[in-house]
Amino acid sequence: MPTVELLELRKTDSKTLGPILFNEGTLDGSYEVIESIYKHQFQLDNKEFDNRLFLAFGDQKTSSLIRSMQAEQVDASMAYDRKDWLIGVAALFHLRMNFLWLMQKTHYGNMEQQDASTLYHNINFWGRKNIPADRAAFQVLEELVLHSFDARVVGLLYTHLEQYGIDISDQEGVDKAIRNMDTRGFMELVEDVRRSAFEPEAWRPSKEKHTNNTVDEEFLSHARYLQQMVVYKTLKYGIKNGDIGLIDRVIGVCCFYFEGTGQSNYAFEMLYLKRLTSTKACDKELRRAILSNSLVNPHGCRDTWQEVDRSLEYLNLELKRELWARRTSTFGLDALFKTTSLTAEYTVCLRRAVEDAFARKGNSTHSVPSAMDDIHTLAFELACDSIKFYDGGREARHQAPDIHTIGLGRVATQKLEVFNAKVIRDEDRIVVPPYERRGATADLDPNSDTMAILPLADRDVAHEWGLPSDVESE
């Protein structure tokens, strides 16, 4: 994978805040959370907020609530009260979770639509369990979609090897044929696979094919699955290796994908993040600060970067384990928060040091069974028919939607105007119109009729601070 903008290696030193016993899911609770963090725990003076910015990473709701606070306090006289020193950013682990749910929504299928191009078919083919049709757990869903991606790529490889006269049912024969290829021949084979499913024409067949009813709908679903997963794998690789350039590249297409599947809230967040990283709203130092601070590196190695919100989830897991192990009539949630949360980071390191010094040496790393056999068996199943390309066309029970075109159309004709009307520049402050009140904070809805769209003549004044209207360049 080529590198674009790698972060310098560093080991992240994290400190745990004390307990914050407020409901961060409400607007009133968010005010209390901000007060607790910056006033009581950081003990910052009001003057600290006059010429300083703070980044807050969280899920979509957290970012929405921060904008709501800014909307309510836009006319406040003190910088601290205005909250415009706080930039709410959608964190990358929550972005990954929502992208996986996007994949599940567009490619899952069902009992009536269980073509081999669907995840429903793959689940049953492998006999995997505990994967619901909607919002499955991150770990099992990511494993499923990654293994399905690999199986499709290997399946395409098998179909091209078969065209060379190789018996793909003989695994040893396939291995021997690949080993006997020279570098040029193997790269030509890889290029054939790439052209067959990863070109724009594979995602969007020509109008002539639609007119003549010669679209291979099942292969089309495979191609769209593969191209969507390229975005996710790029994001995953960029996070793991600390390449903020790769991360920045996928933000734009995520705007269209989320809008194309009706996930308007995250589409809005991606537009907001795109604005921060790709327009004059932020200088290059702030852009780099936003992207680099979205990652932490607890081990200091090149490939051990992780999302800052995922690191927090690991801390929550440690607290949960502590409560599970020690819970008594006198040690409950209150004691956990008040006496344990502050020392959790230290005690975890101390426990590991004690175990390394005195306990029996052993490898506690969770062993993951190899998925190689699963991938090859499904790949062979797909190569027999499903992932072969039929020039004459083929109907399918499940048809993956063209979420890129749908999302691009909606962003270009509706959402971009709405976004630029909502997030404008006024006297060196980012202003969010104050319609976003308590009733709308639970889940920001860009389709709301209460959104006022500025006329083009008025919007042009602040156009350079918004997103460009010409989104075709994405």
pLDDT of residue 292: 96
Q: Which two tokens stand for residue 142?
A: 């990511």
Cβ–Cβ under 8 Å, residues 289 and 277: no
Closest alpha carbon to 295 in 303, 306, 284, 287: 306
pLDDT of residue 457: 32
Which phi and psi (to 5°) does residue 58 adopt? -170, -165
Using DSSP bridges, classify how beta strands 54-58 and 86-90 pair: parallel, antiparallel or unpaired: parallel
Identify the H or E element spanning 465.
none
pLDDT of residue 469: 39
CA dihedral 331, 334, 336, 338 (to 10 degrees): -120
pLDDT of residue 388: 96
pLDDT of residue 341: 67
Task: Outline where 17-113 has alpha helix (H).
Answer: 27-34, 60-72, 79-82, 92-107
How far apart CA 122 and CA 120 sit, in angstroms, is: 5
Cα separations in angstroms, 305 against 8, 34, 54, 427: 11, 27, 22, 38
How far apart CA 132 and CA 143 sit, in angstroms, is: 14
Distance of CA 179 to the CA centre of its chain: 37
- The amino acid at residue 230 is V
Which phi and psi (to 5°) does residue 56 adopt? -130, 115
Q: What does the pLDDT profile of the chain (474 residues) look like in tens digits?
A: 889 999 999 999 888 888 888 888 899 999 999 999 999 999 999 999 999 999 999 999 999 999 999 989 989 999 999 999 999 999 999 999 999 999 999 999 988 888 999 999 999 999 999 899 999 999 999 999 999 999 999 999 999 999 989 999 998 989 999 999 999 999 999 999 999 999 999 999 999 998 999 999 999 999 999 999 999 999 999 999 999 999 999 999 999 999 999 999 999 999 999 999 998 889 999 999 999 999 999 889 999 999 999 988 887 777 787 788 888 888 887 777 776 666 766 777 787 788 778 876 666 666 778 899 999 999 999 999 999 999 999 999 999 999 999 999 999 999 998 898 887 654 444 445 444 443 333 333 434 333 332 233 333 333 333 444 333 333
How far apart CA 149 and CA 18 sit, in angstroms, is: 42
pLDDT of residue 424: 61
Which phi and psi (to 5°) does residue 229 adopt? -70, -25
How far apart CA 255 and CA 271 sit, in angstroms, is: 6
pLDDT of residue 364: 61
